[in-house]
Amino acid sequence: MTENRSPLIIDEKACNGCGRCADACVMKVIEMRDRDDGSKVQVAFVARPEDCMFCEACVINCRQIAIMLNAKAGSSMIKSINENMLKPKKSRFSFKFRK
């Protein structure tokens, strides 16, 4: 399985190389590659993990149930988005109120 900090976990044994997940991903996160064992059946892999939006389109389109979101990677990404949204931003404008 492809795991660690990847946004997706791919079960390479279950993957039949259909490419539906790669086609479904508008961010082009997933690509197909040849297997190390020389098999003619390709396997999905996470080519651009940093572009994943955790939309689940790839998961929904996999008939083999061979791909799932990595909850750990997702939660850290969502945490970082939340933190950035909550950071106070400097305004380009300043207002002075008259007394």
Chain residues that interact with ligand SF4, rule: CB under 6 A: 7-8, 10, 15-21, 24-25, 27, 29-30, 44, 52-58, 61-62, 64, 66-67
Give the single-character DSSP code of 89: P
Contact 70, 58 (CB under 8 A): no
CB of 91 to ligand SF4, least distance (A): 33
CA distance 6 to 30: 11
CB of 34 to ligand SF4, least distance (A): 13
User: Of 64 and 72, which CB lies nearer to ligand SF4 in the complex structure?
Assistant: 64
Contact 42, 35 (CB under 8 A): yes
